[in-house]
Amino acid sequence: MATDTFTNSGVTRRGILKAFAATTLVAAPTYSKAAGFLRGSGDIRRIRMYSGRTGEHLDMIYWIDGKYIKDAIKEVTYFMRDWREGTTRKMDVRNFDILAAAHNLMDVNEPYLLLSGYRSPKTNAMLRRRSRGVAKNSLHMSGKAADTRLKSRSVNQVYRAAMACGGGGVGKYSKSNFVHMDCGQVRTWGR
């Protein structure tokens, strides 16, 4: 039964119904689909993450009543900094919306574990030398991507929720136990 399959993926029927309750999706730019999943959620957008690298936690409302909150965006941007270099870059708020929409679809309270947000070119080059899975022109370097995981959901469950948002690229890294989400072109990859 389709409902059971979807529920087993970590995307609950209740979560889908909540997401669609006050949402009309239009065949416009794909990003509108991710933002559409956030409509009807009390006119707020919230992002919850923690970093195992820095020990920092973030639980931030970054959008209220149709407006991004400037100071909240700065805090999320700092949280998602390149911790190796201590550098920041303005993060694309569309990626926050994709992360928040996927989180809402999974109907969880657990924060994401942020593995990688912004990456400096130097950090990206170092990671490329260590792994063939790191793109030369990674969207991490332009503040448009995040690699995350949830303890309570499988990689496949997070991947399916992010794909349902249709807001950008979604990569599944099962062996490394994380999902890449970005606000670039809509595409999927991984095993």
Instruction: For residue 159, give its domain range.
Output: 2-190
Sheet of strand 112-116: strand arrangement: 67-68, 57-64, 44-50, 112-116, 145-149, 178-182, 169-173, 187-190
SS3 81: coil
Nearest to 140 by CA among 72, 91, 103: 91
Q: Is 52 exposed, middle or buried (0-12, 13-18, 19+ CB in 10 A)?
A: exposed
Q: What is the pLDDT of residues 1-15, one digit of tens each?
A: 333 333 344 454 444
Average pLDDT over residues 76-100: 96
CB atoms within 10 A of CB 111: 18
pLDDT of residue 80: 97
Question: What one-letter code names the amino acid at 102?
Answer: A
User: pTM of the predicted model, to two decimals?
Assistant: 0.78
Nearest to 96 by CA among 58, 45, 32, 147: 45
Q: Considering only residues 6 and 177, tell me which one the structure prediction assigns the higher pLDDT.
A: 177
3-state secondary structure 46-75: EEEEECCCCCCEEEEEEEECCEECHHHHHH
Q: Tens of pLDDT along 132-166? A: 778 888 999 999 999 999 999 999 999 999 999 99
User: CATH number, domain at 80?
Assistant: 3.30.1380.10
The alpha-carbon radius of gyration of the chain (Å, integer) is: 16
Give the count of domains, the chain.
Answer: 1
User: How far out from the chain centre does Cα 145 lie?
Assistant: 8
